[in-house]
Amino acid sequence: MAALTLTDRAAVLAFLTTSLPDEDASALEALLDASAATDKSDCDDADESAVTTYRPWYIIGITLQSNPTAIETVRSAAGSQVAYRDPVSAYQALMQRQAAFDAGYCTIATGFEAVAAGGVGSAGLARSYA
């Protein structure tokens, strides 16, 4: 099996639609574009062109967190079924994997940082009404 090239939009989208077969492909595509990172060999070099890098594990993690029942239908690229007994652990592992990749990128789209639930930078959601 060939390695997943994170700069190849079509390949990453295919990986996502295979991994999340019950999710709407157009919604995955929108999240793919919105959450993309940029990278270059020297982040401080204003003359160097940035390369768009896609973040599949963030998308899988966010999708699973927003739809906990989806965790039972996640499939590997090989097509084998995966079912996690603890969806929170699965989500945390996906975010940790994405955060490891993100550490080498120049920019991550604001609001799309890979933060594991309960980890540093996470916060509970609170709504207030004036």
How much is the pLDDT for 22? 86
Express each pLDDT in 74-105 by its tens digit: 555 555 555 555 667 777 878 888 888 888 88
First to last CA, the chain: 55
Lowest mean pLDDT among 2-6, 60-64, 84-88: 84-88
47 or 104, greater pLDDT: 47
pLDDT at 118 over 70: no
Q: In what order do the strands lie in the sheet with 51-53?
A: 51-53, 37-39, 107-108
How much is the pLDDT for 77? 57
Give this prediction's pTM. 0.66
